[in-house]
Structure 1
Amino acid sequence: MKSYERLLGYHYIRRIRELAKLFDGKSPIFDLNTGIIEKDNEKININKAKLDMLGCEYSIECFDYLKAKKKLDISYLLPHSRVTGGLKILIEQANRLQSRGHNVSLYGHSPKPEWIEIKCGYFHVPPDEDLHEAVLNTDVVIAGYWDLVVDAVRSCAPLKYLSEQGGRYIFEYENMQPFYRNVVTVAFKLPVKIFTVSGQMQEKIKNLYGRKSVLIPNAIDNELFHPLRNRQNNIPEILVVGYDSLQFKGHDDIIKALAILKKEGYNFRIRWAIAASPQKNYADTGVDIQYHIAPSQEELGRLYRMSDIYVSGSYYESFSLPPLEAMASGTAVITASNEGVREYALDGKNCLMYKPGAVEELVSKLKLLIGSYKLREDLIYKGLKTAEKFRWEKSIDMFEGELIKSKNSFRIALIERMGN
C-alpha cells in the first residue's frame, strides 16, 4: 500500500473519532443551524427552546460582506486522488467555477491527480495537518465525502457544504455495522448544506438521514465525449469501464454473459478501461480481454467512440456516469437497471436494460444488439439526444446560482454563553 493511502486511513480514523464524540454530546446549536440551513421552522423553534432551557445565550448573525462579493473564494476538500466518477465531477465543478471568475482551490492529503486536468489551485496538505487547518480565508468549503464534513464544520468558511454522490452508507445502509451507521448519521446531521446528483439520492438522504438536499445533476464534457462520424468495425467491439475489484459494479456478470456468447460462436472484441492493474483473472472463462490501464480522459473518450456497445452491470449507482458518457460518444448502451441510471435511461429507447445480476437476460440483450445494426443506430440516436440534456453549462448555472442564493441569505447561530 502506498504511504499516502495509509495517511488517508489515518486521517479518516481521526474524523471518525471526532464524530463518535458527538454521539451523545452534540449541542443544540448544531441542530439549530441545520434548521436555519434548511429553512425548517419546526427544527429552528425546537432547538431554540432547547437552548433556552439549557440557559444558553446565543445570537443569529449575518455576514454582510458575503452579499457584497461578486466572486467567491471556494475550497474543495478531496477524499483521495484515485480515478473515480465522483472525483471527476468534483474537479470538473472546481475547474468550471474557476473559469467563471471564482477563486477555487482543492485540498487533499493525496498527491495531485495526474489523470485529469486541474485548472485551479491544488494544495497537497502535509501529513500532520488536518485539511481544515490548511484552508484559510475562504467563503465556501465543500466536503467531497461524508467524513470530510468534520473538516468542513471546523473550517473558517461561513458557507459549508457536502457534495453527496452516494456509497455503501446509502445503498447498503441496513448491512452497516451499528457503530458506523451511527457515525455516518452524526455526520449527516451536522450543519452543512447538502448537494446531491439525482432525485433518488435526494429521497434516500431524506429517508435515511432526515436531511433535505439540493439537486445538482452530473454532466458530460462534450469536448471529451462526442461521437465518431464513421465507426467501421468488422467485428463488434464491446467496452467495459471501471475497477474489477468492486463487486457491486457487476463485472463478473458481464464476463459470464460474454463467455456464454463466445461458447455459442459469437465473434466480438472486448476492451476494458480500468484505472489500475486488474485484480481478477478471467482467463478460464475463454474470454480474451484487451485492457487499457489508467487511460486519460481523452483516451477514455476515444475508447467509447471506437466501441459498438458499452455494457454496465452496476447493482446500484447514485447517477451512473459511464452509460451517459457512452451515449454522448455515440455508443449503444446495455445497462443493469439500477436507480441511478434510470435518472436518464429508458429501456428500449436510449438503451437496453436488464435486471442486475440476471446473466441470461444480459445474454439476450447482447444477442439483440450484436445482431441488429438498425437497433444499435436507433439507440445511438436517442442516446445522443439524452446526453445533450446533461451539459456542464446548465449544471454549473444551477450550482453557481445556489451558491449565490446562499451567500445572499446566509445566517448562522452563534453561542454567546453556555448555560450553567
Structure 2
Amino acid sequence: MRITFVLPVFSRVPSGGFRVVYEYANRLVARGHQVTVVHEQWYEGWGRPVAHLREVVRDRWHSRVPGGLHRWLRWMVVDDAVRMTMVGKLEARSLPEADVTVATYWTTALLLPQLSARQGRGVHLVQGYEIWGVAEPKRVDEVLRLGVAKVVVSHYLAGVLEKVGVPRANVTVVQNGLDHGAYRPPVPDGERGASVSLLVGTGPQKGSVVAVAALERVRDVVPELRVNAFGTEKRPGFLPEWVGYSRAGNGPEQAGAAYRASAVHLCSSVEEGWGFPVAEAMACGTAVVVTRNGGAEDFCAHEENSLLVEVGDAEGMASAVVRLLRDQGLRERLVRSGLATAAGMDWEKSTDRFLAALMSAR
C-alpha cells in the first residue's frame, strides 16, 4: 500500500507527535509498504528577516540534497526507505499519489476533502485537542467534524471528538507504543535519592510554572531535593538556580538519563493527548505523579501505577511527591506496576492496529 503522511513543518527538536509519525513510517516500510512523509517548509516571517531567510535557505538545501532530511533529523533515525519530502506550501496538488493520505495536524486535515482519487482515502490522525495557541478554537472543532475517518491515540481523545460532534463510528482508537530499547531501568538500579525528573516547556499546556511552585514546597520539606529538568528550549527564566536543566538535542538519550537518575517523575500538564513522558518514566523504573490531564489517564490509575492529582494543584503535586520520596514501599510498588504498564506498550501491535484502521477507512 502507498501511504502519505502530511506534517505541518519539519521539526528540528524532539516532538512526541512527530515521533509517532516517523515510528509508523519506519515500521510500515519494514512491512513492504511505500511511505512518503511530506513536510511544509518553515516560514519565520518577515518580521525577523534574517531568521526567515536562514530558515528558508536551510530547508531548501536539506530538502533538495539526496538524503538531506534524513540526516538533518538528528533526534530520531528514519529508515532510508521512507521518502522524506518538503514542499514550499502544503496544497492538495503538492501531495503524491497514494492509496491513503494521513493528515497529522488540524491544519493539514483541511487538505483531506480536496484530495483527488489518485491521492487515495483521507485519514485524520488526531494526537491532541489542538486548540492551544489557535486564535479561533472553533475552527479546530469544524475540522474535526469533517467527514473523514479519524484515528485517535487515546480513549480520552475519542471522548473529546464525540463531544464536538464526531460520530463515534468514525473514530478508531490506536494507542501508542514505546521504544523499550531507549526507555528502560538502569542496570544495576541503585538508590536514586530525593530526586525528581521534570519535562519543562514554556507553553501554558505543560503547566511548568505550577510544577516549579510544587517543587519549591517539596524543597521546604526535603531540602536535599535534586531536580533533573529537561526540555527542548533554552533554559526557561522561571526555573530557580537550584533546578538542574538539560536541553534535549536527542529526545530518548536526554530524557532517559533524567528518568533513570530520578526516584519520581512529575508531570504537570494541563492536557495531553497521550502522555509519552509519563509512559517513558514508568519504563525507566521511575515512580510517577501525574495530573488528570486526559490522555495519560488512559494508562494511569491512582494508587495502582501512579499518583494522580488535579491540574494546577501545586499543593497536591507537592504532597504526592513528598509522599513518594518518604514512603519507599509505596514507591517500589508503583514502580513495579508502572513497569508492567509500560511493558504492554508495543509499537508493532500499535502498527497492526493502525494499518487495519487505514485499510478499513472509507
If the length of structure 2 is used for normalisation, what is the TM-score? 0.83
In structure 2, the partner of 1:164 is: 126
| 2:33 matches 1:102 | yes
Give me the whole-angstrom Cα distance separating, in 1, the residues matched to 2:328 and 2:101.
Answer: 49
What CA distance in whole angstroms lies between the structure 2 residues aligned with 1:363 and 1:198?
Answer: 27
Which amino acid is the alignment partner of residue 4 of structure 2?
A: S
CA apart distance, 1:148? 0.6
User: Is the contact made by 1:250 and 1:314 (CA closer than 8 Å) also made in structure 2?
Assistant: yes
Cross-structure match for 2:114:
154
Unaligned runs of 5+ in 2: 42-58, 60-68
Q: Does 1:125 align with 2:90?
A: no
| Residue matched to 2:45 | none
Instruction: After TM superposition, give the deviation of residue 374 of structure 1 in Å.
Output: 2.0
* Paired position in structure 1 for 2:44: none
1:403 aligned onto 2:358: yes
1:233 CA displacement: 4.1
| One-letter identity of the residue aligned with 1:88 | R
Alignment match, 1:196: 152
Q: Does 1:328 align with 2:273?
A: no
Rounded Cα–Cα distance in structure 2 between residues aligned with 1:267 and 1:381: 25
Shift of 1:266: 2.6
Aligned-residue offset at 1:90? 1.5
Q: Which residue number in structure 1 is paired with residue 215 of structure 2?
A: 258
Secondary structure of the 2:119 match is coil
Whether contact under 8 Å (2:106, 2:144) holds in the other structure is yes
Q: Give yes or no for contact 2:256–2:284 (8 Å, CA) kept in 1.
A: yes
In the alignment, is the contact (CA less than 8 A) between 2:154 and 2:173 conserved in 1? yes
Matched residue type, 2:8: P
What amino acid is aligned across from residue 159 of structure 1 in structure 2? R
Q: Specify every segment of 5 or more residues in structure 1 that has no aligned partner in the other structure, as ranges.
A: 1-71, 411-420
- Kindly provide the amino acid, as one letter, of the partner of residue 86 in structure 1: G
Which fold has the larger relative contact order, with Cα–Cα distance below 8 Å and residues 6 or more apart in sequence? 1
* Partner residue, 2:232: 275
From 355, 371, 386, give the equivalent of 2:341: 386
Deviations 1:358-406 (A, max 9, x none): 1112111111111122222111100011112221121111111222334
Deviation at 1:92, TM superposition (A): 0.9
Instruction: Answer yes or no: is the 8 Å Cα contact 1:144–1:164 preserved in 2.
Output: yes
Contact kept? 1:231, 1:306, Cα under 8 Å: no
After superposition, give the CA deviation of every residue in 1:4-24 in whole Å (9 maximum; x if it has no partner): xxxxxxxxxxxxxxxxxxxxx
Q: Superposition pairs for residues 172-211 of structure 1, below 5 Å?
A: 180-211=136-167
Could you give the per-residue CA deviations for residues 281-315 of structure 1, whole angstroms, max 9, x where no partner exists? 323xx633232333332332233222221110012
**2:218, 2:358 → 1: CA distance?**
50
Per-residue Cα deviation, 1:297-338 (whole angstroms, up to 9, x for no partner) = 233223322222111001221221210111111111111122
**Structure (1 or 2) with the greater helix fraction:** 1
Distance 1:253-1:367 versus aligned 2 partners, 3 A rule: same
Which TM-score applies when normalising by structure 1? 0.72
Q: 1:246 to 1:103 in 2, by over 3 A?
A: same
CA radius of gyration, larger in: 1
Distance in 2 (alpha carbons) for counterparts of 1:386 and 1:103: 32
For 2:3, give the aligned amino acid.
I
Pick aligned residue for 1:290 from 211, 223, 245? 245
Q: CA deviation at 1:273?
A: 1.8
Cα distance between partner residues in 2 of 1:93 and 1:117? 12
Could you say which residue in structure 2 is the equivalent of 1:12?
A: none
What is the aligned partner in structure 1 of residue 51 from structure 2?
none
Residue deviations 1:240-262 (CA, integer Å, cap 9, x gap): 1142x111212112111211222
- Residue of structure 1 equivalent to 2:52: none
Which residues in structure 2 correspond to 1:304-323 (within 5 Å)?
Answer: 304-323=259-278
Instruction: Count the aligned residue pairs.
Output: 326
Deviates more, 1:109-118 or 1:341-350: 109-118
Choose the corresponding residue for 2:96, options 130, 133, 136.
136
What is the distance in 1 between the residues matched to 2:339 and 2:19? 21
Q: What is residue 48 of structure 2 aligned with on the other side?
A: none
- CA deviations 1:197-247 (Å, max 9, x no partner) are 11121121122133431111111111111222322346333111142x111
**Displacement of 1:263 after TM fit?**
2.9
Q: For residue 294 of structure 2, what is the aligned residue in structure 1?
A: 339
> Does structure 1 retain, via aligned residues, the 8 Å contact 2:198–2:227?
yes
Matched AA of 2:101: V
Cross-structure match for 1:78: 7
- Cα 1:337/1:255, change in 2 over 3 Å: same
Q: By how many angstroms is 1:184 displaced?
A: 2.7
Report % sequence identity. 23
